[in-house]
Amino acid sequence: MTIAAFIISCLALTISGLTYLRGGARVRVSADLQDLVTPGRADEAVVVTVTNRGLAAAQVSNLFFEFGTKRAAVPLEPNGPALPAVIPGQHSERWAVPLATLFRGQAPTGKIRAGVVLGSGKTKRTEWLLEVNEDGRRRSITVVSESPGGRKKKKAPSL
């Protein structure tokens, strides 16, 4: 009888601990290249997805991009919810920024990734999303993402 009570109490403690760990906001940021379709045209865009896996709400104050060591805020209002945005627990939101808007006609060289600033002041970044190489006059963009077998590179259209 004592052993059964001990096992039940350990199980209750484990469940309480797991609920406590999920209690706050747990934010994950990811980005991908996708086609942004609007009436009459389709543009390639960087789509930033912010997922809140916790139980509490999280606020996204700002969206930004890093080009190598330089950080740039998104110049125009991205396609998606107005910033700052509140993401309830167990939900996600997406913002899309067209590549043409992001680069303003001139792509920087080096690696590029997206990130968000949360209401708490914390910064969350994605993995490096793009790698822009300059071959003389031609610039090419390579999508860099992690895969289970190692790095996976997929060539994207040139700017």
* pLDDT tens figures, 64-101: 888 877 777 665 667 889 889 999 999 999 998 887 77
3-state secondary structure of 18: helix
Residue 18 lies in a domain: no
Is the residue at 75 inside a domain?
yes
Is 32 part of any domain? yes
Whole-angstrom distance, CA of residue 118 vs CA of residue 140: 32
Residue with token string 């509140």: 86
Mean pLDDT of the chain: 80
The two beta strands, 110-118 and 123-125, are antiparallel
Q: Flag whether 79 is in a domain.
A: yes
The pTM assigned to this predicted structure is 0.74
Specify if 67 maps to a domain.
yes
User: How far from the centroid of its chain's Cα atoms is residue 148's Cα?
Assistant: 19
Q: What is the pLDDT of residues 115-144, one digit of tens each?
A: 999 998 999 999 888 777 766 444 556 666
Question: 143: domain CATH number?
Answer: 2.60.40
Domain containing 86: what range? 26-156
Q: 44 is written with which tokens? A: 């390639």
Q: Do the Cβ atoms of 89 and 50 come closer than 8 Å?
A: no
Q: Is residue 21 part of a domain?
A: no
Please list, in sequence order, all residues whose beta carbon lies within 8 angstroms of the beta carbon of residue 30, skipping any fewer than 6 positions away: 48, 49, 51, 126
Question: Does residue 43 lie within any of the structural domains?
Answer: yes
Count of domains for the chain: 1
